[in-house]
Amino acid sequence: MLRYLNQCSRGRGAWLLMALIAFALEMVALWFQHGMMLKPCVMCIYERCALWGIVAAGIVGAIAPKSPLRLLAIAGWIYSAWEGVQLAYQHTMIQLHPNPFVTCDFAARFPSWLPLDKWLPSMFVASGDCAENQWSFLTLSMPQWLVIIFAAFLLVAVLVLIAQPFKPKRRDLFSR
């Protein structure tokens, strides 16, 4: 399995598939916001940023999958997935154990060199309450689903990292 993951990480297809899956999740988030009129909270906005990090890692990996740039893409993938797990877990705890003293911020805090809320306010401006559960599917809230999704991204990323030293087997027509 590790040889197979190594082989997949050296091709564009797997990287593009990962980027496409994360991008599709972003589009679903925008549908929830603009189509279903659900209000994203600050934690939702940060979780979106973590998903964009996975999209970016997929694009970087697809650009040069056979070069050392692949390792940078894996690092970005692991970092974004880890941050996503942490954010979604914190968001879940806020919803499951509401506390008037533990709340999320009113507005997302982005660095001055990357003011996403100013550049794309329809995507990165928060207007909801983190403690409010606006949507659920199969008894799980949106942050709980995101814990599962980010954990799956993280698990696969760690396996791909572990698989990097395992070279794919060469298959010759006449070898035994």
Catalytic residue IDs: 41, 44, 48, 104, 130
DSSP, residue by residue, 11-53: SHHHHHHHHHHHHHHHHHHHIIIIIS-PPP-HHHHHHHHHHHH
Q: Which two tokens stand for residue 115?
A: 């003011």
Q: Which pairing describes strands 140-141 and 136-137: parallel, antiparallel, or unpaired?
A: antiparallel
The rounded distance, in Å, linking the Cα atoms of 127 and 52 is 20
Kindly report the CA angle at 125 between 106 and 23, in degrees rounded to 5?
130
